[in-house]
Amino acid sequence: MRVKPTQQVERAGVSWIEHLVVSELGWLFRQQETADFGIDAQLEIVDAHTCEATGRLIGAQIKSGLSYFEKPTKEGWWFACNSRHASYWIGHSLPVIVMLYHPTEKRVYWQHVNSRTVQSTGKNKKIQVPRAQNLGAHSGQALRSVARSVSEVPALEDWAFTPPEGEPQRSAYFEHLLSARLSAMIPGSFIDKNETDRYPWDLNMWVRGGSLDAEIAVRLALQRSPSEVERIATEYRSGVAPLIIFYTGTQDISGIAPRASDGVMPPVHVVAWREDGLGKALENAISDSIKWANMLWG
């Protein structure tokens, strides 16, 4: 039986991606042996410390071959798809990423498929796959911010317009939403959770190239207390990274702004963000904040 060259390239792409996921990320890779309407494999995060599977999953659509690199952009390449597939991926119970395998370079590039990364071409759709997002050990932080467990999906849908009351649900809501939108809006961004309680920020973000044409680190704080916003804005000092405080409460904080100490302004930007329509919309808040961080630190 004759084997087509395209089949060999496809097989090589799947095998190489499995190698990177298992050997470099240390995660699980499960190929979908039966066609699943556009999901070729599942990636499952494995805890690096306990070596236990976490149940946090990502669906992957894998494409292999030089033909997928024939439409370059400044940031990477356009991946063309039909509207039916795009709708299926966006509506999937798992977050879905597109992975492009370059057979000559033996590199894999990926992009999260969502309503912000999918663009219309009229009849069909296209997705920009960034050059900065090449799969390897360094991809763990970015992919963790995309992955989530199936059990989280209904809760996230319920919270889409009204943040839940009480902790830790409220914190999880804002952290997930902020991480997802930052990943979608800023190619080359890597977001992870700050696990150290003694620091006044919740998330760390690194941006390498992409829309900023720079490499910067930004710290992100989510605060619902006006007094805490004012305290952090006044006291934060860092020669390493600026801090963006997203205020998620309901009180007016228009009078709160970082104050100079010893004639030096702290590297802090305060943004009011509430998903109920009051205050700035999150997308505008993120855009303004990143412009500020790039101007200050880029």
Amino acid at 93: S
Chain-wide mean pLDDT for the chain? 79
Nearest C-alpha neighbor of 171 from the set 127, 207, 201: 201
Question: What percent of the chain has pLDDT above 90?
Answer: 26
Pairwise pLDDT comparison (98 vs 6), residue with the higher score: 98
User: pLDDT value at position 165?
Assistant: 65
Residues 17, 128 within the same domain? yes
- Minimum mean pLDDT range among 160-169, 233-242, 274-283: 274-283
Domain assignment of residue 141, yes or no = no
Range of the domain at 212: 153-297
Number of residues in the chain: 298
Burial annotation 176-190 (CB, 10 A radius, 16+ → b, else e): bbbbbbbbbbbbbbb
pLDDT tens, residue by residue, 183-220: 767 766 778 887 777 788 888 888 765 544 456 788 88
What does the pLDDT average to over 16-41?
Answer: 85
Nearest C-alpha neighbor of 18 from the set 62, 53, 55: 62
- Helices 282-297 and 169-185 pack at an angle, to 10 degrees, of 60
Residues 256, 215 within the same domain? yes
Residues 245, 126 within the same domain? no
User: pLDDT value at position 199?
Assistant: 82
Nearest C-alpha neighbor of 248 from the set 190, 186, 175: 175
| Statement: residue 1 has pLDDT above 50 | no
Contact 283, 181 (CB under 8 A): yes
User: pLDDT value at position 279?
Assistant: 47
Residue with tokens 């003694």: 198
Residues 195, 109 within the same domain? no
Domain assignment of residue 148, yes or no = no
User: pLDDT value at position 97?
Assistant: 95
Domain assignment of residue 252, yes or no = yes
Q: Please list, in sequence order, all residues whose beta carbon lies within 8 angstroms of the beta carbon of residue 19, skipping any fewer than 6 positions away.
A: none
What is the CATH number for 90?
3.40.1350
User: pLDDT value at position 159?
Assistant: 47
pLDDT tens, residue by residue, 266-290: 688 888 876 554 445 666 767 777 7
Max CA distance (Å), the chain:
79
Residues 189, 270 within the same domain? yes
Q: Please list, in sequence order, all residues whose beta carbon lies within 8 angstroms of the beta carbon of residue 188, skipping any fewer than 6 positions away.
A: 130, 132, 133, 207, 208, 209, 210, 211, 212
Report how far residue 3's alpha carbon sits from residue 188's, in angstroms, rounded to the nearest whole number: 38
Domain assignment of residue 235, yes or no = yes
pLDDT tens, residue by residue, 56-114: 899 999 999 999 999 999 889 999 998 888 888 888 878 899 999 999 999 999 999 98
Nearest C-alpha neighbor of 265 from the set 234, 220, 230, 229: 234
User: pLDDT value at position 259?
Assistant: 63
Check whether the bond before 130 is cis (ω within 30° of 0).
Answer: no
pLDDT band at 141; cut points 50, 70, 90: confident
User: pLDDT value at position 161?
Assistant: 47
Residues 130, 215 within the same domain? no
Question: Based on the structure, what is the number of domains in the chain?
Answer: 2
Residues 292, 206 within the same domain? yes
Residues 216, 285 within the same domain? yes
Q: Please list, in sequence order, all residues whose beta carbon lies within 8 angstroms of the beta carbon of residue 124, skipping any fewer than 6 positions away.
A: 80, 81, 82, 83
Residues 162, 291 within the same domain? yes
Report how far residue 92's alpha carbon sits from residue 86's, in angstroms, rounded to the nearest whole number: 10
| Statement: residue 28 has pLDDT above 80 | yes
